[in-house]
């Protein structure tokens, strides 16, 4: 009997999709544990490794996207020339949304985002257009201390954003925030030749290892994301299983449909009779309008049961899809929370630098011989 067959197939397909999405999310975890590489689309603007740079200039907000983008690029070049650069690049709006900062964003919330980016200094702000002029609002934030080091709010004309002028505009803004660059010291008139000294090669000590699994001091937003996605995954799976069981063969809705069809054979209205053993879809038969009665159905009770079944099938499909999404999100947040770069203490690093090794081997006449190695 074909009733609800298409609805059950839709829910099953959604369930398989959920499984595939969850399996796909597991692959980055296995790859990270096996090869120690960065992974996951969820970590596009995060890092669990050491800091990537001394500072970061976030993309400026503004209703004139072209002006904001050109000034952002120029500011990044000028700040990098002054030693504030090398970190992750993203927009101010993206960081505020990621960290859930209020408006205007508190320095503490933005500093938490800066620590997530792995930088010690951060510049962010906006470019607001008013008529033919603009107002630039910049904030220089000390990420480690969570305090604002400098702010700047100044008007600019539209000419300041021209192709040949934008670099000078950015340099003027940077000088106002950091102070003018000191003039280079004049070289001496006569330079005495320098006598080269002996070259001393210091041993390179690796202070970090590959990615490892374990607890560490993770960002608060990762913990919130893990709890939220895990709870939503459990709720979605529960709803998907419950609704799928209701519309399966011999389930409550299926039995109600058969009972409604049998009832049509026993009532006093012969025109609404539906054979429960027909090979046709009972819902299609019940919803067919009788000849000359457009806008009506052959059997209203059966059609009502079909409508309820369609609603539950839609809920089941959406729940399975949601379960897959939230399960994949839970795995991603779990990975971000527990995978981090292995830290090596100073003693271990020194032992490895000197090639220290100890061995024990048994002797044929009894006892054992202990040997070791140390490179100077």
| Distance from C-alpha of 158 to C-alpha of 319, rounded to nearest angstrom | 52
SS3 labels along 40-108 = CHHHCCCCCCCCCCCEEECECECCCHHHHHHHHHHHHHHHHHCCCCECCCCEHHHHHHHHCCCCCCCHH
Residues 27 and 94 both lie in one domain: no
In this structure, are 27 and 63 located in the same domain? no
- Which pLDDT belongs to residue 45? 35
255 within some domain: yes
> In terms of domains, do 29 and 68 share one?
no
The pLDDT, as a whole number, for residue 46 is 37
CATH assignment of the domain containing 67: 3.40.50.10070
**Residue 3, φ and ψ in degrees, nearest 5:** -65, 140
Specify if 71 maps to a domain.
Answer: yes
- 353 falls within a domain: no
Question: Tokens 């379960």 label which residue?
Answer: 323
**Pair 71, 164 in one domain:** yes
At 198-226, the pLDDT tens digits run: 665 555 555 555 677 777 677 788 889 88
DSSP 183-215: PPPPPPSSPPPPPP-----PPP---EEEEEES-
Q: Which domain holds residue 235?
A: 5-35+217-340
Position 356 in a domain:
no
Would you write out the chain's pLDDT as a tens digit for each of its 376 residues?
445 555 555 565 566 555 555 555 554 444 444 333 333 333 333 333 333 357 999 999 998 999 999 999 999 999 999 888 888 888 999 998 999 999 889 999 999 999 998 999 999 999 999 888 999 999 999 999 989 999 999 999 989 998 889 999 999 999 999 888 776 666 666 665 666 666 655 555 555 556 777 776 777 888 898 899 899 999 999 999 999 998 888 889 888 888 887 887 787 776 777 878 877 788 888 788 887 777 788 788 888 889 898 999 999 999 999 999 989 989 987 887 777 666 655 565 666 666 666 666 666 666 667 677 767 6
Q: Are residues 234 and 303 in the same domain?
A: yes
Say how many C-beta atoms besides its own lie within 10 A of residue 44's C-beta: 10
Tokens of 15: 């369930």
Q: What per-residue confidence (pLDDT) applies to 120?
A: 92
For residue 356, give both structure tokens: 């220290």
Write the DSSP symbol of residue 137.
Answer: E
* Same domain membership, residue 168 and residue 64: yes
User: Does any domain span residue 330?
Assistant: yes
What digits encode the pLDDT tens for the residues 312-365? 999 999 999 999 998 998 998 788 777 766 665 556 566 666 666 666 666 666
**Quick one: 330 and 254 in the same domain?**
yes
Q: What is the bridge-based pairing of β-strands 55-57 and 121-130?
A: parallel
Q: Is the dihedral of CA 260, 266, 269, 273 positive or negative?
A: positive
The structural domain count of the chain equals 2
173 plus 221 within the same structural domain: no
Rounded CA gap, 322 and 251, in Å?
23
In a shared domain, residues 13 and 65: no
**What's residue 40's pLDDT?**
35
Q: Can you give the pLDDT at residue 325? A: 94
Count each helix (H run) and each strand (E run) in the chain, helices first. 10, 8
């Amino acid at each position: 009997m074909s009733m609800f067959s298409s609805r059950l197939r839709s829910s099953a397909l959604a369930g398989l999709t959920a499984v595939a999405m969850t399996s796909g999310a597991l692959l980055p975890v296995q790859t990270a544990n096996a090869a120690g590489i960065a992974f996951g689309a969820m970590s596009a603007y995060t890092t669990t490794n050491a800091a990537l740079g001394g500072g970061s200039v976030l993309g400026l907000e503004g209703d004139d996207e072209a002006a904001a983008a050109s000034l952002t690029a120029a500011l990044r070049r000028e700040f990098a020339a002054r030693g504030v650069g090398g970190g992750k690049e993203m927009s101010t709006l993206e960081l505020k949304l990621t960290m859930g900062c209020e408006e205007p964003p508190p320095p503490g919330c933005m500093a938490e985002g800066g620590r997530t980016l792995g930088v010690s200094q951060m510049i962010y702000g906006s470019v607001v257009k008013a008529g033919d002029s603009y107002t630039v609002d910049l904030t220089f934030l000390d990420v480690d201390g969570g305090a604002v080091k400098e702010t700047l709010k100044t008007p600019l004309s539209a000419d300041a954003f021209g192709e040949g002028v934008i670099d000078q505009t950015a340099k003027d803004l940077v000088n106002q925030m950091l102070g003018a660059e000191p003039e280079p010291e004049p070289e001496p008139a006569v330079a005495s030749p320098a006598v080269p000294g002996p070259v001393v090669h210091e041993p390179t000590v690796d202070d970090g290892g590959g990615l490892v699994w374990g607890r560490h001091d993770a960002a608060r937003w990762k913990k919130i994301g893990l709890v939220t996605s895990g709870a939503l995954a459990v709720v979605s799976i529960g709803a998907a299983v419950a609704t799928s069981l209701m519309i399966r063969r011999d389930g409550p809705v299926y039995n109600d449909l058969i009972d409604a069809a049998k009832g049509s054979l026993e009532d006093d209205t012969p025109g609404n009779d539906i054979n429960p053993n027909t090979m046709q879809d009972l819902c299609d038969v019940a919803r067919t309008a009788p000849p000359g009665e457009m806008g009506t159905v052959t059997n209203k009770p059966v059609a009502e049961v079909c409508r309820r079944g369609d609603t539950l099938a839609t809920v089941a499909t959406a729940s399975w899809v949601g379960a897959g999404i939230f399960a994949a999100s839970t795995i991603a947040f779990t990975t971000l929370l527990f995978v981090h770069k292995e830290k090596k203490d100073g003693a271990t690093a020194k032992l490895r630098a000197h090639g220290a090794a100890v061995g024990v081997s048994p002797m044929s006449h009894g006892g054992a011989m202990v040997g070791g190695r140390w490179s100077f």
